[in-house]
Structure formats: C-alpha cells, structure tokens
Amino acid sequence: MIETTRLTKRYATTTAVDELTVQVRPGHVTGFLGPNGAGKSTTMRLLLCLAASTSGEALVNGRRYDQLSHPMHEVGALLDANAVHPGRTAFDHLLCLASTNGIGKSRVVSIMEQVGLAGVARRRVGDFSLGMRQRLGIGAALLGDPGVLMLDEPVNGLDLDGVRWIRRLTRSLADEGRTVLVSSHLMSEVEQTADRLLIIGRGRLISDTTVDELTRRFSQGVLVRSPRAADLIAVLTGAGADVEQDPAGGLCVRGLEVATIGDLAAEHGIALYEVTSRSASLEEAYMALTADSVDYQAGEK
Ligand SMILES: Nc1ncnc2c1ncn2[C@@H]1O[C@H](COP(=O)(O)OP(=O)(O)OP(=O)(O)O)[C@@H](O)[C@H]1O
C-alpha cells in the first residue's frame, strides 16, 4: 500500500507536487498519469525518500521509506534505467545489489531469466540499449520480491515485445496481491495494463478513477436509428433515458446501455436500423481532463 497525505514539494520557482493525497492499493495495477512535468517522478522520489517533502506525508506500508527495516524486500522501484555503472556486467550489477541486501546468487540468476537478460548477463551495461537497461532496472526492482512496485515510465525504450512483456508482468504482479504503481505521460501506454488510474496535473490530483469509470464518464451516448423515431423516443424516455436528435442524423441516447435499448425496442415491436455505442477513447478522456495542466505544448501547424 502506498499513501500520500497532502504531499507537497516546492522548488524555488515550481510547486512540483501540490497537496497530493492518494492511496495506491494492493491487487491493482495503478496507472500514474500526467503530462510532462506533472510531478509523477517527484512523487515517486518523495515516496523513496530521495527528496525531502516540503510538507505532507509519503508512506509505503504505513511507514516512511527511510524507516523500513528491509526496504528492498518491501519496495522495488525503477526510476532511471540509466543510473547504472556502465562498466559492470548486468549480472554483477544485480549481484552487487543482492549481496548488500542479503539476497543470494540464485535469485539473481532467476531474475536475469525473468527479465529476459539471461543471454546477455555477462555483457557490460554500458553496451546495453535503453530497452535492455529498462529490463535490468525492472530486474533490480524485483530482486527483493517486494510487495510494492513503483515503475517510472517502464516502457520507455522498449519495443512492442517489451511493452507486452511489461503489461503481462505488471498484471501478474498485481494478481499476486502486490501494489503496482506505473507512471506514464501517455494513456495509450497504461490503458491496457492499469485498472486504476491516478491522473495528476501541475502536481495536483485531477482524477482518482478506474479505466471503466473513465470510459463511462466520457461516453458520448448511443446512436440509434429507427424508422419509428417518435415512438422510440417515447419508450426510451419512459425508461429514464435522455434522448435528443443527433447532428449526424438518428437519435443520441444517454443513460441506457445498448442491450437495454435493443430489448425495449423489441418489446414494443420497433425496428432498429442502427445501435452504436460511442464512447470517447480513453486517450480523448485523458486529454480533456489534463488540457488545463499541460505545461509543454507544441504549436499547432
Ligand atoms: N530538482 C529539481 N529542481 C527544480 N525543479 C524540479 C526538480 N525536479 C523536478 N522539478 C520540476 O518539478 C516539476 C515536476 O517534475 P517531474 O519530473 O516530477 O514531472 P513528471 O510528471 O515526472 O514529468 P515527465 O513526464 O516529463 O517525466 C517540473 O516542473 C520540473 O521541472
């Protein structure tokens, strides 16, 4: 479990994290989303006591990271895949981490296999691609078999195979009952993995939600076409729906599911020519939510 309470971090001219209160629960993959500069990395750094908060609290399993007696067994984190000694082999990098934390060599061997680096374990990290470093960083995070994982932009640098691997890995870690927090600035990267979403902008919480809820909230209704539109309107509004003429022709129905609309029409012998659910993509929902919090925007051409 990860918890922040009114967590705030101010730098000279920037409030990177602003009164952030969130809970990240076990058993879920929680996507930590926000535009560039939203404060995701800073929040993770505060949780790991790599930076001191200005005010508020950041706790892992109910305690500050620097108060955990066996931190590597409680929290695994990938913050910066490049923060590795380039002259060391991948195996030695993990072995070094393992031996200073009372973890045996056999665990290093099995982690190397788990992250797909067994074949290059004896190569210098300096010769690794960014994707290989990401895998190594995830290996380091998993080394202590922790119940809490924090991965900052873990798919950065990974090819499609790697992205799929991260999705499967994070899902299975959450299914084992772990707390998994995965940051990204792109909804497309987390929507297929995360079930919960924490969306932040300018250091503030914008939305603490689920993928399902966000999809529902930004639903643009159901487009229905029928040769007996007037009769259908009466039936659907009678069942509690909001119905209006759709600019594209047909009816826009809100408040009823596609199946209910179909069932009601059938019950009343009303033919339907089209029933189409029009939910906004999660990407569109995310863009709409964070539109006011984007610090760095390319000019439209
Ligand atoms: N050490 C620092 N000194 C001054 N400002 C900082 C420092 N670290 C972060 N910031 C600022 O705090 C804000 C939040 O940065 P942070 O890296 O946490 O955002 P982020 O959401 O992780 O962004 P990205 O998606 O680009 O990685 C930014 O405006 C950043 O410039």
pLDDT digits 0-9 by tens, 38-96: 999 999 999 999 999 999 999 999 999 999 988 999 999 999 888 888 889 999 999 99
% of the chain with per-residue pLDDT over 90 = 71
Q: Does the pLDDT of residue 290 top 80, yes or no?
A: yes
Q: Check pLDDT > 50 for residue 301.
A: no
Query: Which residue shows structure tokens 């190569």?
Result: 123
Of the candidates 166, 162, 108, which has an alpha carbon nearest to the alpha carbon of residue 130? 162
Cite the residue boundaries of each domain of the chain with CATH code 3.30.70. 219-279
CATH of domain 2-208: 3.40.50.300
pLDDT of residue 297: 57
Model-level pTM?
Answer: 0.83
Q: Which CATH class is domain 219-279?
A: alpha beta
CA angle 237–239–242, rounded 5-degree value: 35
DSSP character string of the chain: -EEEEEEEEE-SS-EEEEEEEEEE-TTSEEEEE--TTSSHHHHHHHHTTSS--SEEEEEETTB-GGG-SSHHHHEEEES-TT-S-TTSBHHHHHHHHHHTTT--HHHHHHHHHHTT-GGGTTSBGGG--HHHHHHHHHHHHHTT--SEEEEESTTTT--HHHHHHHHHHHHHHHHTT-EEEEEES-HHHHTTT-SEEEEEETTEEEEEEEHHHHHHHTEEEEEEE-TTHHHHHHHHHHTT-EEEE-TTSSEEEESS-HHHHHHHHHHTT---SEEEEEEPPHHHHHHHHHGGG-SS-PPP-
Mean pLDDT of 117-123: 93
User: What pLDDT sits at residue 208?
Assistant: 94
| CA of 43, closest atom in ligand 1 | 18
Q: Which amino acid is at 206?
A: I
Write the single-letter amino acid at 173: L
Q: What is the mean pLDDT of residues 91-104?
A: 92
In the predicted model, is pLDDT for residue 300 greater than 50?
no
Per-residue confidence band for 278, with pLDDT thresholds at 50, 70 and 90: confident
Residue of 15, 41, 200 with the most ligand 1 atoms within 8 Å of its CB, for mutation: 41
Q: How far is the CA of 41 from the centre of ligand 1 (A)?
A: 7
Give the mean pLDDT of 230-238. Answer: 97
Q: Whose CA is nearest to atom 27 of ligand 1?
A: 36
Q: Which amino acid is at 131?
A: G
Which atom of ligand 1 lies at the shortest distance from residue 44's CA?
A: 18
CB atoms within 10 A of CB 14: 15
Among protein residues, the one whose CA lies closest to atom 25 of ligand 1? 36
Report which protein residue has its CA nearest ligand 1's atom 1: 11
Q: Sheet containing 179-184: which strands, arranged edge to edge? A: 75-78, 148-152, 179-184, 29-33, 196-201, 204-210
How far is the centre of ligand 1, averaged over its atoms, from the C-alpha of 80 (Å)? 13
| Ligand 1 nearest-atom number relative to CA 34 | 21
37 Cα: distance to centroid of ligand 1 (angstroms):
5
What are the tens digits of pLDDT across the range 140-160? 999 999 999 999 999 887 888
pLDDT of 288 reads 82
Q: Is the ipTM of this complex over 0.90?
A: yes
- Residue in 15, 18, 40, 206 to alter for ligand 1 test, most ligand atoms within 8 A of Cβ: 40
Higher pLDDT, 171 or 283: 171
Query: pLDDT value at position 296?
Result: 55
Whether 292 shows a pLDDT value over 80: the answer reads: no
The preferred substitution site among 7, 8, 11, 33 for testing ligand 1, maximizing ligand atoms within 8 Å of CB, is 11
CA 32 to ligand 1 centroid distance, Å: 14
Indicate which atom in ligand 1 lies nearest the CA of residue 38: 21
pLDDT band at 281 (very low <50, low <70, confident <90, very high): confident
Residues with CB under 6 A from ligand 1: 11, 14, 16, 34, 36-42, 185
Q: Which atom, in ligand 1's list, is nearest to the CA of 17? A: 14
Nearest alpha carbon, ligand 1 atom 5 = 11
Ligand 1 atom nearest 41 alpha carbon: 22
Nearest to 141 by CA among 161, 166, 168: 166
Task: Give the residue range(s) of CATH 3.40.50.300 domains in the chain.
Answer: 2-208
User: Measured in angstroms, how far is the CA atom of residue 16 from the centroid of ligand 1?
Assistant: 6
Whole-number pLDDT of residue 214: 84
What pLDDT, in 10s, does the model give residues 9-48?
999 989 999 999 999 999 999 999 998 899 999 999 999 9
Q: What is the pLDDT of residue 298?
A: 52
Mean predicted lDDT score pLDDT of the chain:
91
- Other CB atoms within a 10 A radius of the CB of residue 1 amount to 13
* Res. 249: pLDDT tops 90: no
What does the pLDDT average to over 120-147?
Answer: 93
